[in-house]
Each structure stands twice: as structure tokens, then as C-alpha cells.
Structure 1
Amino acid sequence: MHQVLNPDDSELLDIADLPEYAGIGVDARIRELVGSAFTAKEVARGLSVSASSVHRRRRHRALWGINHARTWRFPAAQFVVADGRPVRQVPGLEVVLKELPADLHPLSIDGFLHTPQPDLLVRDKLVSPLDWLRAGRPTRSVLTCAAALDWYG
């Protein structure tokens, strides 16, 4: 028996053309991703910009936003966080986000950003794109990894 998703979570899966039973815990993963995300107001305050600037960056795909329950939420992973608030975006991530397919499901983006990639090695250890960028490594290496993926296959 599958757990029934709330309408907002179900809509996210529909947008990505994924069935509600695509995997164990998909609904919980979406809930966790959205639940730990920042509001536009929190991002604006943390980055010392206006809320309209936050939304403009989202529209230009420089910030990763998820429309959930009629509000935009900004996953925390894309930020350097201090004292529970975003203080800046992970260096280079703005460029990476713009190059990802525009219609990717939020869990696909989250998975890519957190999954160690074969071409991203730090001290002989595979690291995720986020860890790579947080370490100040070249953005182009993450772009190469993203371009090599078959996002829809």
C-alpha cells in the first residue's frame, strides 16, 4: 500500500512526470527538502538583497527555488549558512544551476548536487558537486559532469 501524497507534493511529481510510487520515501524526501528550505524573505535578509532580487535571480535560474504550496522555497544546500540563515550562495553554483535542464525535478537537482561524481576527486576521494564547489574548485568541472549526464534516460 502506498502512502497518499498531499496535493502539492503530488503536483511536483506530476511536473516531473514521475509516478507517486516512484520510490520508497519520495514524498518524505520532498517534504524534507522543502521543509529545510528558506523562504524568499529569509534569503533576502541573509544575502542583504531585496525579495524582488531573490525572485529575479530565481527566474534567471541563478537561485534554485521550489514552488511548493503556492510559495517559493529555496533549498538550504545552495547556501553557506551561519547562525541558521543563508549568508551567501555556494561559489560557482549560480553558473551550474543555469546550465542544468530547466525542467528538472527538485529531487533530481538535489541528487546531482549531493552525489559524488567520477570526475570530481579531492585527495583521491570522489566528492559531490556541492563539496567540490565549497572547496573552491573550478566550476567548469561540475559543468562537465552535468553535461555528461543523461538526465532523461
Structure 2
Amino acid sequence: MTVALETLLAKAGLRVSPVEFLELVEDAARRLSPATPDPADYFSTEQRDTLSDVGLDLTPRRADEVDSRARAVAAQAVLRDSALTVSAAAHAVGVDTSRIRHRLSAGRLAGWKDRGGWRLPAWQFTSAGVLPGLEAVLAAVPDDQPPLVVAAFMTTPQPDLRINDQPATPRQWLLAGGDPTKVATLASVLGTPA
């Protein structure tokens, strides 16, 4: 399995050993809900009755069902592995590390504190530096949105952003010189019901 995982990680461009990747997966899984949560435990008796009345199934997941947390754990592990350190981001942008920290504190770059310091998602960088229009987009993202949600938004095709009549990701849109206010408008509603 190690050779297969090593091959998969290399194909995905992830710079991590299979052991390190599996440690990331284990850490991400631990941060999510318990392995076998009982959905009914999250609600009061009255709430459970109401939810059951409208047809919501609150029974725990069966042993033969796929664990819905697996996709989230894998995405979190990839996000963490592909993220840049402050010094790697400074090198990519061509500035001093203090400028990167300043941009982080001003909300002009996205990142999170992790073991060993700040981590900055790779989606916000290009071969020429920082993604064009990034500041306008980040300013519009609601403060309560976690890095994984923002990364998923920036790398998922959006029907409202079209390049050559095909849905484009916000990252692709900005790289192609698209108006950042269109992406900012979409980003401003992250986490709100559709």
C-alpha cells in the first residue's frame, strides 16, 4: 500500500511521505465528530420529535454505510499538506517574511495557525506572486468561514463565472483577468443558506 499511496501523492503533486500523509489524515479525522456519532444526541427531545415528524432520520450510521467524514478528512489533509509556510510564501511572492505576516494580520492573505506557525493555502498564489484580485475577495469572505470552505469555493467551478462558456473556478476566473467583484459577491454569501 505504501508504494500505491506514494504514487498517488506524487501524481497529485503533494510533497509528503505516505506516513506523514496518513498522520495528517488521522489528525483531521480526530478533529471531526466522533467516529460513531448518534445524531439524536445533538438535539433536545422536542427538536428530535419535530425533526422525526418531518421525516428526518436520526438513527446512527450503520456499520456498512460509507463514513461521510472521509471526504472532509481527505480534503483537510490535502489542504494542510499543500499549504505554504510563511517563508515559502515570502519566497513565492518575493518579499520578506514580515510582509507576509503583515498581510495575514490585515486579511490580505488567507491562512491559519498550525503546529510550527502559519500555513497559507496554495490556491492564493501563482507563479508570479499573489492571485490577482485576492484582497477584494478575501475582504468579502465572512469571518466565520474556515479555510477548507474558502479553498473549496476558490477551486470549485461556479455557474456565475464563465470562461469560454464553461463554468470556471474563482481562481481560474481571477487568473484569466476576470472582475474580482464578481468573485467577491459570490464569496460574501459563503455559509449562508441558498
**Bin for the TM-score computed over the shorter chain:** 0.7 to 0.9
Larger relative contact order (C-alpha < 8 A, sep ≥ 6)?
A: 1
**Is 1:31 aligned to residue 77 of structure 2?**
yes
Q: Which moves more between the two structures, 44-53 or 104-113?
A: 44-53
User: Is 2:29–2:69's contact at 8 Å kept on the other side of the alignment?
Assistant: no
Distance in 2 (alpha carbons) for counterparts of 1:151 and 1:41: 31
Aligned twin of 2:153: 112
SS of equivalent residue, structure 1 residue 63: coil
Distance apart, 1:28 and its partner CA: 2.2
Instruction: Determine the C-alpha separation between the residues in 1 that align with 2:164 and 2:183.
Output: 17
| Secondary structure of the structure 2 residue equivalent to 1:144 | helix
What are the within-5 Å matches in structure 2 for residues 27-66 of structure 1?
27-66=73-112
TM-superposed deviation, 1:43: 1.1
Figure out how many residues of one structure are paired with residues of the other and give that number. 137
Aligned to 1:16: none
| Bigger radius of gyration | 2
Q: CA RMSD in A?
A: 2.3
Q: Report how far residue 88 of structure 1 moved.
A: 0.5
Whole-angstrom distance in 2 between the partners of 1:36 and 1:136 = 24
Q: 1:60 touches 1:98 (CA, 8 Å); kept in 2?
A: no
What secondary structure, in the 3-state scheme, does the structure 2 residue paired with 1:30 have? helix
Counterpart of 2:167 (choices 126, 148, 153) is 126
Larger fraction in helix: 2
TM-score, normalised via structure 1 length? 0.78
Tell me the secondary structure at the aligned position of residue 187 of structure 2.
helix
Answer yes or no: is the 8 Å Cα contact 1:8–1:68 preserved in 2.
Answer: no
Structure 1 or 2: more strand by fraction: 1
Q: Which residue of 2 aligns with 1:92?
A: 133
Match of 1:68 in 2: 114
- Distance in 2 between the 1:66 and 1:92 partners? 20
| TM-score (structure 2 length as normaliser) | 0.63
Identity of aligned residues (%): 33
Query: Matches of 1:42 and 1:152 in 2, distance apart?
Result: 33
Contact 1:5 1:20 in 2 (8 A): no
Question: Which ranges in structure 1 are unaligned for 5 or more consecutive residues?
Answer: 14-18, 82-86
Change (3 A) 1:72 1:139: same
Unaligned runs of 5+ in 2: 1-24, 36-67
Secondary structure of residue in 1 paired with 2:79: helix
